[in-house]
Amino acid sequence: MSMMKKVALITGASAGMGKDFALRLIQEGYEVYGAARRVEKMKDIEEAGGHAVALDITDEAMIEAAVNRIVDEQGRIDVLINNAGYGSWGAVEDVSLEEARRQFEVNLFGLARLTQLVLPYMRREGFGKIINISSVGGKIYIPLGAWYHATKHALEGWSDCLRFEVEPFGIDVVIIEPGGVETEFGDVMNEHLVQASENSAYKTLIEHYNRLMQDFGTQAAPRVITDLIVKALKAKKPKTRYSAGTMAKQILIMRRLLSDRMFDRMLRSMLKMK
């Protein structure tokens, strides 16, 4: 295997972190397949020497077709980076269960099915790296983000179980927990918050939340997360978790040190709510 290019599949590669992962891994010598719904947004990946794959992570037929194409062309998949995901914001009472289910389909069940299909090829080779892009939101909570946090908390536990199961087959499972990163995430999050919050009983909380978000400055560039990906891929024994991005390490430390009630009080103070 060391004589050949390793094959990497990256979901959510049409923008933000996923695109940065793809372009960097091409530079690192990987045979890269970027997967996303917006294939037209991945022309730069193709121009750099990678491949663009049409993929809606909620469509099982497209998931199967993507894996089959890569295996037909390359014979294997060595690296899977589960990056596709989004945040749907709004009070629990306001967000429809249809939207909540979609959050889980995109952020958990879609990547789970893709992982299931890739694992047999990794087991056959006795090698594999599965990198799941979680979030500091998988360890903390912020009001109005219940469904997003639920998916990321679930992904953390799911990844831990998967790591234990596949380790004997030479497969590593790594969790990346980004903090603030400059991507389309915030725009999508705000769009969902507006849609869910018309005539909301939680108007005061939403106003305080919006003011808090305006106070945050420039977010970290995607490359800080890409550097972690490369570090994990090069390590013989990668850590189970890596974190980077604006406030990532500080947030995780605070969550470890503060009790639930203390963390609640900190949030209320940040939101300037009594």
Residues 94-131 pLDDT 10s: 999 999 999 999 999 999 999 999 999 999 999 999 99
The single-letter code of the amino acid at 46 is: E
Average pLDDT rounded to a whole number, residues 261-272 = 93
Q: Which structural domain, as residue segments, surrounds residue 234?
A: 7-270
Q: How far is CA 231 from the centre of its chain?
A: 17
134 vs 188: CA distance, rounded Å: 17
C-alpha distances (whole Å) from 76 to each of 82, 106, 125 are 17, 24, 8
* pTM assigned to the model: 0.93
**Per-residue pLDDT tens digits for 180-223:** 898 766 666 777 787 777 789 999 898 888 888 876 667 899 99
What is the predicted pLDDT for the residue at 73? Answer: 97
CA–CA dist 87, 190 (Å, integer): 9
| pLDDT band for position 1 (cuts 50, 70, 90) | very low
User: Are the C-beta atoms of residues 9 and 68 closer than 8 Å to each other?
Assistant: no
Number of domains the chain contains: 1
State the Cα–Cα distance between residues 45 and 24, nearest whole angstrom: 10
Residue 90 to residue 144: CA distance in whole angstroms: 5
Distance of CA 42 to the CA centre of its chain: 18
Token code pair at residue 66: 């993507």
> Has residue 80 been placed in a domain?
yes
117 within a domain of the structure (yes/no) = yes
**CATH code of the domain in which 199 resides:** 3.40.50.720
Question: Is residue 160 situated within a structural domain?
Answer: yes
Which residues are the active-site residues?
14, 134, 148, 152
Q: Could you tell me if residue 1 is inside a domain?
A: no
Pick from 103, 100, 132: which is nearest to 115 by CA?
A: 132
Position 2 in a domain: no
236 is a domain residue: yes
For the stretch 39-73, pLDDT in tens is 999 999 999 999 999 999 999 999 999 999 999 99
> DSSP string covering 86-150, please?
----S-TTTS-HHHHHHHHIIIIIHHHHHHHHHHHHHHHHT-EEEEEE--GGGT---TT-HHHHH
105 contacts: CB under 8 Å, gap ≥ 6? 57, 58
